[in-house]
Structure 1
């Protein structure tokens, strides 16, 4: 998944995403686990919305994303905000040469876009290599409940004056996976007509126990598993699973 034209309307479509909750999550756990450094790697940073928010909180942020289009938007937004943030185009499963960090995050269920079990494990291993001793790795994923009961075989729509979309979700090829068939329509102010763009997105998740096994294999200590930005253990109906890990 690289995101094409979608990158240029992403922020408008995602304007209701609770980015501040991820920032609060990182800040709370930075204090809780006595992380002294401020070097933060934002993996799958997209248009840089979270990277900029972290930078405004005093973190020294580096952003990584697979999509060149997303990174072009991120560069522009960081410059507009007067932020000196380094952005790099890399696959999260093949991270290399980025240096060491005190905190590494994969937010907004971005890990679910990896298509294979090996890619997830490779990502964990590369994160481990880039994390300083005792550093924190924080990420979130969709629960199996959300994939199967909320996304599967559902249609979501938005009918707005500037941007509209039709979003159909279907069962994917693998267990606990879903394909999102997205058509969106963007108003061209010059012509007064709407341009149509189509994207196909794939997401796949796994049981919590499988993630924990892979994290331990990569060398991490899983210090906390929570749900939906609450300090509670995941329940049957939980939608977002959050992992807090430390490098041993």
Structure 2
């Protein structure tokens, strides 16, 4: 999933996202684990709101995304903030992740890992480059959200210059949500159509994959309130620590 044309107004359609609360949660977790600086990778950085907030906090950020359009948006924001020289951006598929060295931590937000059909490989790749004692902070949509909230529903977003219709179909047999996005620009009459999937992973599957690849799952909470999980939680937020390096494992 690349979010090609959608990249340019992703922030407008994602306007209700509480980046400040998300940043506070992530920064507090990093600080609590003694990670006050050093290299942190944002896996699926999107338009870079969180990436740039962590850059401003003093971390050496690597923003990674499969969409060149998303990365262009991040570059523009970084230039406006005077942060271009402090940020490395890589266009990569997380299933083929290849970094230049080790990282102290990794973050991944807004259900990036739900878009990956092979969760086990993605977690293995994140762990491969992480130092012992490193922290992996990420969120994922819950099975409840896929089945009950997205389901077979459609959502319409209206902005001044464009409109977007987001349609979902929950495929129970394959445990995934099939998504189509149609974008219409009012002034030019241009139309864009994108299709992608979100894959459903339950908590036991995620935990088992983390443990398999050298992580200990410390905490999992509601990814919107950051309080306890409930039966109607729509997003998980995970904090896992790397117990050994690949060579030790």
Question: So what's the TM-score if we normalise by structure 2?
Answer: 0.91
Contact 2:109 2:138 in 1 (8 A): yes
Helix, strand or coil for the counterpart of 2:147? helix
Residue 43 in structure 1 maps to residue 38 in structure 2: no
1:30-179 residue pairs with structure 2 within 5 A? Answer: 30-83=30-83, 84=85, 85-115=87-117, 119-172=118-171, 174-179=173-178
Bigger drift between 210-219 and 100-109 goes to: 100-109
Q: Any gaps of 5 or more consecutive residues in structure 1?
A: none
In 2, the alpha carbon distance for the partners of 1:8 and 1:35 equals: 32
Kept in 2: contact 1:99–1:130 (CA 8 A): yes
Conserved 8 A contact 2:116-2:122: no
Task: Tell me the distance in 2 between the aligned counterparts of 1:120 and 1:245.
Answer: 15
Q: Distance in 1 between matches of 2:19 and 2:185?
A: 24
Q: 1:59 to 1:15 in 2, by over 3 A?
A: same
How many residue pairs align between the two structures? 241
Q: Supply the distance in 1 between the matched residues of 2:81 and 2:173 (Cα, whole angstroms).
A: 41
In 1, are the aligned partners of 2:153 and 2:169 still within 8 Å (CA)? Answer: yes
Q: Secondary structure at the match of 1:194?
A: coil
Q: Per-residue displacement from partner, 1:46-82 (whole Å, max 9, x unpaired)?
A: 1222211111122211111111221122222211211
8 A contact 1:227–1:233 mirrored in 2: yes
Moved more, 26-35 or 205-214: 26-35
Cα 1:231–1:2 change in 2 (3 A) is closer
- Paired with 2:135 and 2:173, the residues of 1 have a C-alpha distance of 30
Q: Who is 1:195 aligned against? A: 190
Q: Tell me the TM-score normalized by structure 1.
A: 0.91
Aligned-partner SS, 2:165 = strand
Cα deviations across residues 107-145 of structure 1 (Å, max 9, x unaligned)? 111100012xxx211111111111111010011000100
1:207 aligns with 2:202: yes
Mapped partners of 1:231, 1:90: distance in 2: 29
Tell me if structure 2 keeps the 8 A contact 1:141–1:205. Answer: no
- Structure 1 residues 87 and 174: alpha-carbon distance in aligned structure 2, compared to 1, 3 A threshold: farther
